[in-house]
Amino acid sequence: MAGTLYLCATPIGNLEDVTLRVLRVLREVDLIVAEDTRHTEALLRRYGIPPKFGPSLYEGAERERVPLILAELEAGKDVALVADAGTPLISDPGYPLVRACVEAGIRVVPVPGPAAFLAALVASGLPTDSFVFLGMLPRKRGHRREVLEGLIGEDRTCVMYESPHRLRETLGMMAELYPHRPLVLARELTKAHEEFLRGTVTEVLAEVERREAIKGEVVLVLGGDGGGGRIPDEELLRDFYELLLSRGRDPRGALR
């Protein structure tokens, strides 16, 4: 009989943010598949759980490692998948493994817990009844700007991850596109230096530019457009349509 794959959410900073169920599963499974065993080992050591690591599963290694992990599951071993922080598969490796398990008829069990984007969203003070999660913004400037342009006219709250190294550039793009929309920058969530910067896009950008550096993982929570970011002038609207076409958008997508 095949084993079970458990998707175990781990703390995003504070090691106290782990559920009793996650700790029990980590003790009981045959193998723990981690993104980086050094991160996971600190959690296991804190709670006295013996390390029993299988193949690491990090970005770039999934094609090679998934068959190895799948073979362990098919041999009857129970496996816990953990990311370095938060919920597996949320801007982290793991999707090919879950997909392979589903196709092979292997049981997949979520063991819920922390996720940085949800922590930032619920504490942002912005609407939470309907939202869009964009994951990590693209590294390439052109692709990133295309994603941000797509948020013009978006009425829902938008949540995204960004690297502190690209933060100023990204906020500059946002300030060009929708300077007056509300924005919350959350960083170092659950850690000693947890911080929320709130204001308009322009105000948050100004605060970031006043600082030497922004450190730690960053979550951006952008308020919905609410109509304020739409371009009402017909000539400007036509110019923007032509701009989108020149950047490779198909006519239907650009018109929308």
Domain residue spans of the chain: 4-114, 117-255
Question: Quick check: 150 pLDDT over 70?
Answer: yes
Q: For 189-216, how does the pLDDT look when each residue is reduced to its tens digit (9 = 90+)?
A: 999 999 999 999 999 999 999 998 898 8
Confidence (pLDDT) at 238: 84
Mean pLDDT of 21-39: 97
> Would the CATH topology of 4-114 be identical to that of 117-255?
no
Looking at domain 117-255, which CATH architecture does it have?
2-Layer Sandwich (3.30)
The better pLDDT of the pair 30, 233 is held by 30
The better pLDDT of the pair 130, 228 is held by 130
Looking at domain 4-114, which CATH architecture does it have?
3-Layer(aba) Sandwich (3.40)
Reading phi first (left if > 0) and then psi (alpha if -120 to 50, else beta), residue 145 is in alpha
Confidence (pLDDT) at 220: 98
